[in-house]
Amino acid sequence: MAEPTELPNAFAPKYRLNGLYVKDISFENPLAPGIFIQAVEKPAMNVNVDVNILKIQEGVYETSLKITARADDQNGKAVFLVELVYAGVFSINPALNASEHDKVLLVDCASFIFPFARRMIADLVREGGFPPLLLEPINFEAVFASRQQAA
């Protein structure tokens, strides 16, 4: 029987996940407990998502999503503020050239992390006494393309 052969790196996946983790987390409910006894109209929501990459060692990177969501009442007072930095450590396929690393990290790896961060944001807001905040999916490919055009 023939020995199984390993596929060349060119056929291997673009990245391998080494681990996912919460890097930083915060939930503020500054109007509690009063917020729960008064009628509040639908708050104004402001959500910001930022993607960062950090080289840990050759071929190994951290991709992190920093998500900040703030709900304000009609008077501009914060109803709640949630901040989350959710990250993953990824090994990049060495067959990829250096110019492809940023795209893999900022698009593929960020897309992989997002559902976990989205669920955590929804759970934090729900545990804070509010309806869960369900973030819309993000097209990281389009975000990457706009970053490239701006540069």
- Greater confidence (134 vs 13) lies with 134
Provide the whole-model pTM. 0.86
Locate the domains of the chain by residue range.
13-150
Please name the residue that has the structure tokens 């949630």: 82
Lowest mean pLDDT among 9-13, 40-44, 108-112, 139-143: 9-13
Burial of 72 (0-12, 13-18, 19+ CB in 10 A): middle
- Greater confidence (118 vs 13) lies with 118
**What pLDDT score was predicted for residue 10?**
54
67 close to 49: Cβ distance less than 8 angstroms = yes
Mean pLDDT of the chain: 89
Task: Tell me the pLDDT band of 24, cut-offs 50, 70 and 90.
Answer: very high
Q: What is the mean pLDDT of residues 3-15?
A: 60
Position 74 pLDDT exceeds 90: no
Report the 3 state secondary structure along the chain.
CCCCCCCCHHHCCCEEEEEEEEEEEEEECCCCCHHHCCCCCCCEEEEEEEEEEEEEECCEEEEEEEEEEEEECCCCCEEEEEEEEEEEEEEECCCCCHHHHHHHHHHHHHHHHHHHHHHHHHHHHHHCCCCCCCCCCCCHHHHHHHHHHHC
Q: What is the mean pLDDT of residues 3-28?
A: 78
- Tell me yes or no: is domain 13-150 CATH 3.10.420.10: yes
**What pLDDT score was predicted for residue 6?**
45
Note the pLDDT tens digit of each residue in 85-119: 999 999 998 888 877 888 999 999 999 999 999 99
18 close to 90: Cβ distance less than 8 angstroms = yes
112 close to 79: Cβ distance less than 8 angstroms = no
Q: What is the mean pLDDT of residues 119-125?
A: 97
Could you tell me the two tokens for 77?
Answer: 């007072």
